[in-house]
Amino acid sequence: MSLFWRIFALNAVGLVVAAAMLLGPVTVSTPVLPAEVLVVVGGLAALLAVNAVVLRVGLAPLARLGRSMADADLLHPGPRPVVSGPVETAELIATYNAMLDRLRAERAASAGRALSAQERERRRVARELHDEVGQTLTAVLLQLKRVADRAPHDLREEVGQAQEATRAGLDEVRRIARRLRPGVLEELGLPSALRSLAAEFTAHGLTVRSDLRPGLPPLTPETELVLYRVAQEALTNTARHSGADRAELSLRPAPDGVELLVGDNGAGLGPTTEEGTGIRGMRERALLIGADLTVGSGDDAGTRVRLRARTPGAGDAADPRARARPSGAPPTAATSGAP
List the one residue out of 209, 213, 302, 198 whose CA is nearest residue 251. 213
- The answer to whether residues 76 and 198 belong to one domain is no
- The answer to whether residues 331 and 191 belong to one domain is yes
Among residues 65, 86, 106, the one where a domain terminates is 106
User: Which residue stretches of the chain are H helix?
Assistant: 3-23, 34-71, 87-128, 134-150, 153-180, 183-188, 190-202, 221-237, 277-289
The answer to whether residues 322 and 219 touch, using CB atoms and an 8 Å cutoff, is: no
CA angle 253, 223, 281 (to 5 degrees): 110
How far apart are alpha carbons 37 and 45 in whole angstroms? 12
- Rounded average pLDDT over 304-320: 65
- Check residue 1 and give its pLDDT: 65
Does 149 fall in a domain?
Answer: no
Which range marks the domain in which residue 328 is found?
185-339
How far apart are alpha carbons 132 and 129 in whole angstroms? 6
- The answer to whether residues 230 and 92 belong to one domain is no
Mean pLDDT of the chain: 77
Q: What is the CATH number of the domain that holds 327?
A: 3.30.565.10
- The answer to whether residues 332 and 198 belong to one domain is yes
Does 39 fall in a domain?
Answer: yes
- The answer to whether residues 189 and 333 belong to one domain is yes
Does 293 fall in a domain?
Answer: yes
- The answer to whether residues 194 and 294 belong to one domain is yes
- Rounded average pLDDT over 134-140: 84
- Rounded average pLDDT over 140-162: 83
- Check residue 331 and give its pLDDT: 39
Q: In DSSP terms, which residues pair with 307 in a beta bridge?
A: 260, 293
- Rounded average pLDDT over 258-271: 82
Among residues 72, 106, 140, the one where a domain terminates is 106
Give the pLDDT confidence of 7-23 residue by residue, as tens digits.
Answer: 777 777 877 777 777 66
Give the pLDDT confidence of 189-240 residue by residue, as tens digits.
Answer: 888 888 888 888 887 778 888 888 888 888 888 888 889 889 988 888 888 8
Does 65 fall in a domain?
Answer: yes
Radius of gyration of the chain (CA): 33
Q: For the chain, first and last CA: distance in Å?
A: 52
The amino acid occupying position 73 is D
Number of domains in the chain: 2
- Check residue 271 and give its pLDDT: 61
Give the pLDDT confidence of 267-295 residue by residue, as tens digits.
Answer: 777 665 667 778 888 888 888 888 888 88
- Check residue 32 and give its pLDDT: 66
Asked whether the predicted pLDDT for residue 180 surpasses 70, the reply is yes
